[in-house]
Amino acid sequence: MKHLFSSGEILAHQNEKSIPEGHFIGETLEYQDIDIHTEYICYGSIDGKPCKLVFTLSCDSYENVKFKMMLGILMQTDVFESEWTEYRVEDDV
């Protein structure tokens, strides 16, 4: 399921991240379940070029995200701003 970043998250630039490939701006975050092995997909652009950023969470970040999900207060930036164990950038075709 795709989730939009809220207008407040966008105004606060919480949907943006500087990575070695450039400045990433996310539009939507997609995931099925909150699980330690979940790959989260953020659709957006790097320096204006459309792409998707696929990442997994560290164990500590996963526990925090899982807890917020259980409480019903999970925001997209809770996932996006978490510590990632790995990520990759793919063309958004």
Note the pLDDT of residue 47: 92
Mind listing the pLDDT tens digit for each residue in 30-67?
A: 999 999 999 999 999 999 999 999 999 999 999 999 99
Question: What percent of the chain is modeled with pLDDT above 90?
Answer: 96
The structure's pTM equals 0.92
Note the pLDDT of residue 93: 56
User: With b meaning 16 or more CB within 10 Å and e meaning fewer, what string describes 44-74?
Assistant: bbbeeeebbbbbbbeeebbebbeeeeeeeeb
Helix/strand/coil for 43: strand
Note the pLDDT of residue 54: 98
